[in-house]
Amino acid sequence: TPFASGKNRINYAAMVVCCLCSAAIECFIIRHLVNTEKNEKAVLCLQKGEYEEAGRLLEEAGKTVPGLINEGIMYMNRFKDTSREEYLQQAGELLSEAQRRQPEDVHIGYLLAELDLEKINRLLQLCRNLLGAILGMCFTDINYTDCFTAKGSR
């Protein structure tokens, strides 16, 4: 007969569902492997200091937790090289998102602590500079006053 019977339709439907599920799983695996490869290449670029290429690869790999961590590390390194605050902020946002997705990962917590330490060190340096400027102004005023008084008393 040109038409399939009821039992054959069920077998055909089950076969189609299995094929679709298999194809979806294969696509997921292939995508995961491609993203992993791009992440690994990005890490090599980071080690060489090739931040632009690493950023491009990480962007292509998608926002997976390993990608967020690697991108956060990239921005931390760029901050250390340039002292530009926006890199520090970007690293914090990426690592915080990675920790939100995977809170049990102690490596992310360590990187966030390192980032906080960097912020504290920047704040301490700012305080030192400010204190130095204030003390410099105070001693400069005292020296000028002493010089003026000494000249006036002769």
Mean pLDDT for all residues in the chain: 83
Sign of CA dihedral 100, 101, 106, 107: negative
Least confident of 29-38, 45-54, 69-78, 86-95: 29-38
Q: pLDDT, tens digit, for every residue of 43-74?
A: 888 888 888 888 888 888 878 898 899 899 99
Task: State the DSSP string of 32-85.
Answer: HHHHHHHHHHHHHHHHHT-HHHHHHHHHHH-S-HHHHHHHHHHHHHHHHHH--H
Query: pLDDT tier at 154 (50, 70, 90 boundaries)?
Result: very low
Residue 62 token pair: 């998608």
Q: pLDDT, tens digit, for every residue of 119-146?
A: 898 889 989 999 988 888 777 655 555 5
Query: pLDDT tier at 1 (50, 70, 90 boundaries)?
Result: very low
The total of other beta-carbon atoms located within 10 Å of residue 48's CB is 10
Distance of CA 64 to the CA centre of its chain: 12
